Amino acid sequence: MNPAERTTEPELEIWRGKAYPLGATYDGSGTNFALFSEVAERVELCLFDADGTEKRLVLPEVDGFVWHGFVPNVEPGQHYGYRVYGPYDPATGHRCNPNKLLIDPYAKAIDGSIDWGQPLFGYNFGDPDSRNDEDSAAHMPKSVVINPYFDWGTDRPPRHEYADTVIYEAHVKGLTETHPDIPEQIRGTYSAVAHPVIIEHLKSLGVTAIELMPVHHFVDDSTLQEKGLSNYWGYNTIGFLAPDPRYSSSATPGGHVQEFKAMVRALHEADIEVILDVVYNHTAEGNHMGPTLSMRGIDNAAYYRLVDDDKRYYMDYTGTGNSLNVGHPHSLQLIMDSLRYWVLEMHVDGFRFDLAATLAREFYDVDRLSSFFELVQQDPTVSQVKLIAEPWDVGPGGYQVGNFPPQWTEWNGKYRDTVRDYWRGEPATLDEFASRLTGSSDLYEQTGRRPFASINFVTAHDGFTLRDLVSYNEKHNEANGEDNRDGESNNKSWNCGAEGPTTDEAVNELRARQQRNFLTTLLLSQGVPMISHGDELGRTQGGNNNVYCQDNEISWIDWAAADSELMEFTRTVSALRAAHPVFRRRRFFDGRPVRQAGAPSAPDIAWLAPDGSDMTAEDWETGYAKSMAVYLNGHGIPDLDVRGQQVVDDSFLLCFNAHYEPIEFALPPKDFAAQWTPVISTAANLDDTPLAAGAKVTVEARAVLVLRAEKD
């Protein structure tokens, strides 16, 4: 039967309802449904029984382009979708087709998976200008009405200050799937992330925030399924308010929402914040050849950026086929409503925005003061949580590191690249390495931001793991089925003398040292450190630097093979950071002398050559120079504690040697400290025998030595 011939089911009542809030809202007596569409001529609400039987109700009212109705006695667990009647004219940007069942953009839960085939597409295969009227309902996941009530108990957000934050980037399944102490039935789920063994591990590392890779409901691409692969990472969103049920141990429709909330509550009880990696730059509907799943069939021109002179096509700043139209008020409203929902109802503590430069594109240029960022700044809820930008996209002018508004922090890609180059021995990196080590003031200070605007990272989900970074010169992505063409080719990696696994003890020892060098640099740099899950355990992906489609042992942490020595080393360095505010300053260094009662003045920071002299311009500019020391003055911290008292700490000397031979360092004179105690060494077993001022100490090849100044 043609959908146009269908009428309201006589046994169901539908009242006029309300235009706000959008989505499906259960109030105890029934459910209000509201859907935005400027182009719709009629909207049908489709309710599905457990056996798949569909009942349709025409939404009776429209206010401000929001179609709405209230259905008594519709309770949580009800599956539903929409059919939108309106123009189908791709040349003018319109793709309405009531034969396509549509997911509610405001669905708070989505159940089922996509059954790929012709019915999902608005055109006939082989003829993109045609119209296909096959019904898609049997092949589509369904939106689900949820129970909004949850016992949060005494839950409160930890609200860690940025300067005190240590972020742990993790994948729900990859983190927990093989852990032997997690019950098998909950491995890979939200409940597993909340399990005491995972929380204990995070706490032991000094982690204050877990940053979860996408948990918004996403779609598995048909091309991956045909290869026997899947969209493991989840950067293919179709539901901005719905947690994905793949990561749930609950079989109850909508039960994964309760499970997600329980995870957040448990992490908060452990004083750990929850940050979500969110993908608001595009959706799973792809380009003009993609399926009609939701927004395309609701109001294509409102939700997506279309090519001005031919609206059949989509502007693609993401490399995924489409870009969300953040210049349209209702598209912006969807993003803001989603953010507020996750903060207010799901209690999350912040967001990392994937390809955030796309959200700044109102026209063709990246505009730092675009409408999206203005709305965020003015929003009393969203502006108060952690906001982290991935400050680039694939469009022209898309690399925007350092250019986001003041309340934002950024994944510092320049930190990653510089630290990698320094430790693999690239020439002329010393001066930029020093800048990255001290918070990247060249990127953030001029906009009034602080060192913690820099989210420092050496590795992330996208690219080599830390162990692979020191084990491979080339990517090895053959398992992805793209002849090793996918993934970044310029990884700034170094295999330390052999490609991949080796029995060469010297190579393996160097690799272990290099991992310690990276972790020490990361955790003792000014700014906010981000550890990629499993790096502290020596996790490997076998040289695959693009495991987006590998939901298997390639991408999961192998807890049985964990490097316990590296884990303990990471804990030690993280504990040093947590204990000493000199490593997590809230303001940039200025290099000026600091007066100390009863002691000679010393600058808040000093850069020293290995011979103990101040670094000169020539020292910085010498291309082959790979060694230096930096003095951090614990009396030169311009911060106040919570009681308004001046922060005072121990002073430290960090000796960096990226040279292939040992370097002898002269310790500073008594003006700095009477003696120095080694506290961290990445080279070998630590000798913590105190050393006198001015003494000589050897730093092994490619190693870091950290010394603490001792009082007289």
User: In this predicted model, what pLDDT tens digit does every residue of 244-270 receive, in sequence order?
Assistant: 999 999 988 889 999 999 999 999 999
The dihedral through the CA atoms of 550, 556, 560, 563 has a sign that is positive
The active-site residue out of 54, 277, 390, 563 is 390
46, 129, 711 from 52: Cα distances, Å: 11, 32, 76
- pLDDT reading at 352 higher than 70: yes
Q: How would residue 6 be classed by pLDDT, with cut points 50, 70 and 90?
A: very low
- pLDDT reading at 380 higher than 70: yes
Chain mean position to CA 26:
31
H or E stretch including 552? none
User: In this predicted model, what pLDDT tens digit does every residue of 157-191 receive, in sequence order?
Assistant: 999 999 999 999 999 999 999 999 999 999 999 99
Share the mean pLDDT of the chain.
94
Q: How would residue 142 be classed by pLDDT, with cut points 50, 70 and 90?
A: very high
High-pLDDT (> 90) share of the chain, %: 85
The active-site residue out of 169, 354, 421, 536 is 354
Q: Is 390 a catalytic residue?
A: yes
Quote the CA–CA distance of 471 and 73 in Å, as a whole number: 60
The dihedral through the CA atoms of 529, 530, 534, 538 has a sign that is negative
Instruction: Show Cβ contacts of residue 488 under 8 Å, excluding neighbours closer than 6 positions.
Output: 462, 463, 475, 545, 546
Quote the CA–CA distance of 685 and 358 in Å, as a whole number: 48
- pLDDT reading at 597 higher than 60: no
Residue ranges matching CATH 2.60.40.10 in the chain: 23-145
Quote the CA–CA distance of 373 and 385 in Å, as a whole number: 14
Q: What pLDDT is stored for residue 159 in this prediction?
A: 97
User: In this predicted model, what pLDDT tens digit does every residue of 607-624 receive, in sequence order?
Assistant: 999 999 999 999 998 888
Residue ranges matching CATH 2.60.40.1180 in the chain: 591-710
Quote the CA–CA distance of 657 and 517 in Å, as a whole number: 10
Location of structure tokens 């909207």: 43
Quote the CA–CA distance of 260 and 251 in Å, as a whole number: 14
CB 409 within 8 A of CB 417: no
Quote the CA–CA distance of 406 and 551 in Å, as a whole number: 37
Quote the CA–CA distance of 100 and 95 in Å, as a whole number: 10
Q: What pLDDT is stored for residue 355 in this prediction?
A: 86
This prediction's pTM: 0.96
Q: Is 61 a catalytic residue?
A: no
Quote the CA–CA distance of 525 and 456 in Å, as a whole number: 8
Quote the CA–CA distance of 80 and 5 in Å, as a whole number: 20
Quote the CA–CA distance of 518 and 704 in Å, as a whole number: 10
Instruction: Show Cβ contacts of residue 505 under 8 Å, excluding neighbours closer than 6 positions.
Output: none
User: In this predicted model, what pLDDT tens digit does every residue of 404-455 receive, in sequence order?
Assistant: 888 899 999 999 999 999 999 999 899 999 999 999 999 999 888 999 999 9
User: What's the CATH code, domain 23-145?
Assistant: 2.60.40.10
- pLDDT reading at 3 higher than 70: no
Q: Which CATH class is domain 591-710?
A: mainly beta
Quote the CA–CA distance of 258 and 151 in Å, as a whole number: 10
Q: What pLDDT is stored for residue 8 in this prediction?
A: 46
Mean pLDDT of 460-471: 98
Quote the CA–CA distance of 553 and 680 in Å, as a whole number: 33
Q: What pLDDT is stored for residue 180 in this prediction?
A: 98
Q: What pLDDT is stored for residue 117 in this prediction?
A: 97
